[in-house]
Amino acid sequence: MRKAISLLLLLWSAGFLNAATVDTVSIYSKAMKRSSNCVVILPQYYQEGKHFPVVYLLHGYDGWYANWIIRVPELKAHADRYQLLIVCPDGSKNSWYFNSRMNPAMQYETYIGTEVPGYIDAHYKTQKSRFGRAITGLSMGGHGGLFLGLRHAATFGACGSMSGGVDIKPFAEKWGIKTWIGDPDAAGFDWKEITVADAIEKYPRDSVAIIFDCGVDDFFYETNNALHEKMVRLKIPHSYMTSPGGHDWAYWQNAIQYQLLFFSDFFNKKNIPGN
């Protein structure tokens, strides 16, 4: 019996030693002229020479780069299960992942859409192709996942959103949105250009693989459902899910599992030779 227990402990220890690891790195932005921290989750077997796909996972309003790994430590197990990197950059408290027209120090579309993937590809063993990258997030980060995924389809082959602010127009007075992009009545441009629910009409139907979801008790549920219905009318391929739940971590902890499964299937279907 003691030998059996000792063997089990040995096997458990070996598995623990080979499990996912977490890096915290500082990534400099030329566009914003400053550095921000970023969490990088490396899967089991990362050191074995293979190149891995990457999921960029964005935080929500009033969040920070460590939100996801603190609130959902199971991300390490998910990285192991699907053998991919999970990268959680910092998008500031309320950037909404835009390039601000009002503040040159808030250029988060460029930072997350271009500079962070460039850094990750240069410093980690990644699949350096759009077919090896996906982006998603929660709430403000859900908006960011779809917004950046659609606008940077040359970088990301798949994109997603969990409880995302996919139509910001009804919420113009909330969350500091006007601070960075200007008043919708005096901004000098149409907010529809940067609103996912409207901009979706501009993009080729198969430009990116898309998944999004929202809880039925979420204040963003109606706008997410409207986006789904519009995409059905436009015949834009996508995966859309609803389930019981609100705008909270209990919902996102569950939702991320389906998002990562979707992205893993996408990566496996593309199966980039040489990686």
**Which CATH number do you get for residue 241?**
3.40.50.1820
Give the predicted TM-score (pTM) of the model: 0.90
Domain range for residue 239?
Answer: 20-270
Q: Is 32 inside any structural domain?
A: yes
Q: Total structural domains in the chain? A: 1
Please choose, from the candidates 189, 190, 89, the residue with its C-alpha nearest in 3D space to the C-alpha of residue 148.
Answer: 89
pLDDT at 13 over 80: no
Q: For the segment 45-102, what is each residue's pLDDT rounded down to a tens digit?
A: 999 879 999 999 999 999 999 999 999 999 999 999 999 999 999 999 999 998 988 7
Q: Is 1 inside any structural domain?
A: no
Q: Is 84 inside any structural domain?
A: yes
Please choose, from the candidates 128, 170, 140, the residue with its C-alpha nearest in 3D space to the C-alpha of residue 275.
Answer: 128
Q: For the segment 221-270, what is each residue's pLDDT rounded down to a tens digit?
A: 999 999 999 999 999 999 999 999 999 999 999 999 999 999 999 999 97
* CA max distance for the chain: 76
Give the bridge partners for 213, in sequence order: 162, 241
The token pair at 247 is: 């705008």
Q: Is 275 inside any structural domain?
A: no
Q: Is 136 inside any structural domain?
A: yes
